[in-house]
Amino acid sequence: MRKLIQSVLPVAAAGCVLAATSSVAAPVGQRPAITIPPGAAFSMASIPTFKGEYKDVYAYIDAHKDSDLANLQRWVRQPSISAQNIGVKEMAALAAADLKKIGFKEAEVVPTGGHPGVWGYYDAGAKTTLAVYMMLDVQPVEEADWQVKPFDGALVDHPLGRVLMARGATNTKGPERAFLNAIEAIIATRGKLPVNLMILAESEEELGSPHYPELIAKFASRLKTAAGAIYPGGGQAPEDGAVSVQLGVKGLLYVELEARGNPRTGGPQKAEIHSSWKATTDAPAWRLTQALASLTTPDGNTILIPGYYDKIRQPNAEEQRLFNGTLDGWVKREAATRKAFAVDHWYDNMDARTSLTRYLFDTTINIDGLASGYGGPGTKTILPNRALAKLDSRLVPGQTPEESLRLLKAHLVNKGFGDIEVRQLAGYPPSQTSVEAPVVKALLSTYKKYGLPVDVSPRSGGSQPNYVFTDTLGVAEVGLAAGHGADAHAPNEYWLIDPKPGSKLFGMSAVEKFYVDALYAMAAAK
């Protein structure tokens, strides 16, 4: 799910525990009262500018642009569609071979219960070790919709400049292989890297990373020694080259609720029946509808499950500071965001400040899908034997998927809907970190060296299983967001290689130089 959030940069500093504050608990039927007093605001002015210059490395990068680009093309030309099991093993073998060639002491394909991962260890004899998250798989393609063959690695003229147009170009083989190009440049010019690296790549990101926790567990004792986990990917806004840094993600509870005819509450148990029998027969579709309706107020915006809000904590001092720092930018972007969504107004006509508060600090229960009986054109008169709802709940600090699921199930039982089956499809806790973490400060100082506008937010409203780094390992995960690409899950996916003159966007070589700086900045971070 990483691509759902643009420019993700969550960072958790090991050992940096955020002080708990009071809970937002409110009586059932009221939304949590989240209060953020105006006051101190985080500002990039507090971040020193990184001063490192690595002219020999930059020169090497400039001199090797053709072979660097050829490396990117070699990666995107190897299909690796995890959903269809196309080329996944070949891509893992290719990545492991590249690591070995670059000089990683350990470089191996790692089997899992699903598609294999890749582990690589580069020993620089350095004091600082960084973990590197990578994904090697890509989305499926509908080749007919593409203007080029999606696995040809074509270079195409684009309004933003010359781009590599291919599946995986921006999500995420382009940035990943550019990161390896940067490493090769450092080793070629300086002999070795300023940090030790532990690369742990998976081939199932597009499937929801089902076996990444298994990979993490296999290397946990070594990964725990890392000062941070970095993630090449994300990107700059095309308008002004700005990057967005989000210091956490919400957790996720994803469930299916299903009502079926059953011996206890009645209804047809095997197949739909003629709808005339509604006169005598319990209907699973009504049971599901009524069970769902019991979860929220009539407007669908306040959760009525007792206790669901109780353990959410008020934003702490650092989150308040970050909120106050990011608010102005949101106030400027808010109307455009609504326009892009074709949303006339937020619920309750909330103002921009309130909408940012809810987006960052409130939990949700959302209906992702409803399915029962006949949904096609015209009429069909049936009493369906089953009805299904898909729900997701975004979890904020204080909430856990286990507790949220328990409260949901207890509420259904208490309301007389114990016959509704609740199946968890995904569940992981939120992940949060501090802007004071050394690797975050190192990254921000690198952005500042390049004069990139930076928006630092306490978290995203979206979800990723970042807890495997921040909670399981106690290691921050840091996205490196320079560069630009688009259409990650669509036809004509691209990554920018050569920006138009005057552009504020980084092309491939500029991104590689940025990666060089970031590695040196992190090596020096304290």
Binding positions for a second copy, 67-126, rule CB under 8 A: none
Nearest to a second copy of 222, 278 (CB atom): 278
- Nearest approach in angstroms of CB 433 to a second copy is 19
Nearest to a second copy of 187, 410 (CB atom): 410
Residue type (1 letter), 71 = N
In this chain, which of 137, 176, 362, 477 binds a second copy, going by CB under 8 A? 362
Q: Is 269 in the site for a second copy (CB under 8 A)?
A: yes
On whether the CB atoms of residues 447 and 237 are closer than 8 A, the answer is: no
Nearest to a second copy of 335, 425 (CB atom): 425
Site for a second copy in 489-508 (CB under 8 A): none
Q: Is 276 in the site for a second copy (CB under 8 A)?
A: yes
Rounded CA-CA distance 353/351 in Å is 6
Q: Is 526 in the site for a second copy (CB under 8 A)?
A: no
Q: Both tokens of residue 475?
A: 């290691």
In this chain, which of 188, 347, 400, 405 binds a second copy, going by CB under 8 A? 347
CA distances from 508 to 57, 76, 297, 505 (A): 14, 15, 50, 10
Q: Both tokens of residue 92?
A: 């893992």
State the angle between helix axes of 317-341 and 352-361 in degrees (0 to 180), rounded to the nearest 10. 110
In this chain, which of 243, 365, 435, 452 binds a second copy, going by CB under 8 A? 365
Nearest to a second copy of 108, 421 (CB atom): 421
Nearest to a second copy of 105, 423 (CB atom): 423
| Residue among 467, 482, 463 nearest 3 (CA) | 463
On whether the CB atoms of residues 167 and 73 are closer than 8 A, the answer is: no
160-199 footprint of a second copy as x/- string (CB under 8 A): ----------------------------------------
In this chain, which of 111, 189, 286, 405 binds a second copy, going by CB under 8 A? 286
Question: Considering CB under 8 A, how many residues would be counted as binding a second copy?
Answer: 88
Question: Which H/E stretch holds residue 456?
Answer: strand 454-457
Site for a second copy in 366-385 (CB under 8 A): 366-376, 378-385
Q: Is 18 in the site for a second copy (CB under 8 A)?
A: no
On whether the CB atoms of residues 198 and 130 are closer than 8 A, the answer is: yes
Q: Is 341 in the site for a second copy (CB under 8 A)?
A: yes
With b for 16 or more beta-carbon neighbours within 10 A and e for fewer, the 51-70 pattern comes to ebebeebbebbeebbeebbe
In this chain, which of 233, 261, 483, 485 binds a second copy, going by CB under 8 A? 261
In this chain, which of 254, 309, 428, 467 binds a second copy, going by CB under 8 A? 254
Q: How many CA atoms lie less than 13 Å away from 388 in the CB half-sphere?
A: 11
Nearest to a second copy of 432, 446 (CB atom): 432
Compute how many other C-beta atoms are within 10 angstroms of the C-beta atom of residue 29: 9
- Nearest approach in angstroms of CB 242 to a second copy is 20
CA distances from 382 to 258, 271, 278, 370 (A): 18, 10, 9, 17
The strand pair at 228-232 and 477-480 is best described as parallel
Q: Is 267 in the site for a second copy (CB under 8 A)?
A: yes
β-partners of residue 524 are none
Nearest to a second copy of 240, 374 (CB atom): 374
| Residue among 58, 488, 419 nearest 266 (CA) | 419
In this chain, which of 50, 121, 308, 359 binds a second copy, going by CB under 8 A? 359
| Residue among 7, 42, 19, 23 nearest 396 (CA) | 23
Q: Is 394 in the site for a second copy (CB under 8 A)?
A: yes
Site for a second copy in 47-66 (CB under 8 A): none
On whether the CB atoms of residues 73 and 164 are closer than 8 A, the answer is: yes
Q: Is 242 in the site for a second copy (CB under 8 A)?
A: no
Nearest to a second copy of 158, 394 (CB atom): 394
Site for a second copy in 417-436 (CB under 8 A): 425-426
Q: Is 214 in the site for a second copy (CB under 8 A)?
A: no
Q: Does residue 172 have a cis bond before it (omega within 30 degrees)?
A: yes
In this chain, which of 23, 71, 296, 400 binds a second copy, going by CB under 8 A? 296
In this chain, which of 29, 298, 501, 502 binds a second copy, going by CB under 8 A? 298
In this chain, which of 344, 501, 502, 526 binds a second copy, going by CB under 8 A? 344
Q: Is 461 in the site for a second copy (CB under 8 A)?
A: yes
In this chain, which of 18, 387, 439, 508 binds a second copy, going by CB under 8 A? 387
- Nearest approach in angstroms of CB 67 to a second copy is 38
β-partners of residue 301 are none
In this chain, which of 128, 209, 314, 355 binds a second copy, going by CB under 8 A? 355
> What DSSP assignment string belongs to 76-129?
HTS--BGGGTBSHHHHHHHHHHHHHHHT-SEEEEE--SSS-EEEEEE----S-E
